[in-house]
Amino acid sequence: MTNLKTLITALLLGTSVLAGAQESDMEDRKIRFGLHASPNFGWMNPNISQFEKSGLQPRLGFGYGLVLDYKFSESSNYLFSTGFNITSNGGGLIEPYDSLVVNEISPNETNEVYYTGKLDRTYRLNYVNVPLLLKMRTNEIGYMTYFAAIGMDLGFRTRAFANDDFDWQDNGSALKPDDRDDENITKQMNFFRTALNISAGGEYNLSGNTNLYFGLGWHNSFMNAFRNKDFNRILAPESNGYPDLNADGKAIPSERKKAFTNYISLDVGIFF
């Protein structure tokens, strides 16, 4: 009988220890760190009518970096989540475009050829991104916890490149400007990017304080991707999308460019 009581006591103690080990990994600490990778699906959302709507071309991007969760109260269900990551995203836009090409005929003679058409540009933008989020987590259910987070992204542009495809109107010239790849457009794009960040997902306890996590994030920018400068003015389009011309046959500048970069991310990582 004594041996049976000892066995039952040992089983109860073992169950209690196991349950305690499976409780939230934030119960007994304030901060945890993690690493993550985030492939994303992004696009440019124009806020002026001069961009062609058919130019809303999606682009695949990628992000990676460090995650930090901070328990700011006694409850481990509410966390402040931040971090540091490198993110690339972008998209495509189509706009009316013109180009003046000066050709040298001889050392003392040149001629000018004026082209009008459409520019189909694919943007590739790189940012250092700092998320600032309120994260709400459930208690552990089996080996799983689930979370939802809301807050904002603070982004700082590091690089910006574009691939340009032209659709020139026929002006009688056989030589037209070629398409371009890897155009450096850093000076045209805004240095800052701020966005609403809403995400949700789950965590799976691998062992101890090590959790595998996954989530889906919505990153909706509310800051213009283009700098508010006169050199960023878009040309006024005709109904066919080509530039509208004045009496001298030249394209007419219109509003300053305005578009927002948005993307959906698939976040996968590990907390230690």
Residue 189: other Cβ atoms inside 10 A = 22
Domain count, the chain: 1
In this structure, what token pair is assigned to residue 55?
């130019």
Q: What does the alpha-carbon distance between residue 80 and residue 100 come to, in Å, rounded to a whole number?
A: 54
CATH number for 115: 2.40.160.20
pLDDT tens, position by position, for the chain (272 residues)?
444 344 334 433 333 333 343 445 666 789 999 999 999 999 999 999 999 988 788 999 999 999 999 999 888 899 999 999 999 999 999 999 999 988 777 677 777 889 999 999 999 999 999 999 999 999 989 889 999 999 999 999 999 999 999 999 987 777 788 999 999 999 999 999 999 999 999 999 998 889 999 999 999 999 999 999 999 999 999 999 999 999 999 999 999 999 999 999 999 999 99
Q: Is 234 exposed, middle or buried, given 0-12, 13-18 or 19+ CB atoms closer than 10 A?
A: buried
What is the domain extent for residue 159? Answer: 2-271
What is residue 170's DSSP assignment?
Answer: P
Q: What does the alpha-carbon distance between residue 197 and residue 135 come to, in Å, rounded to a whole number?
A: 11
Strand partners, 16: none
Q: What pTM was estimated for this model as a whole?
A: 0.83
What is residue 187's DSSP assignment?
Answer: G
∠ CA 86-193-92, rounded to 5°: 85
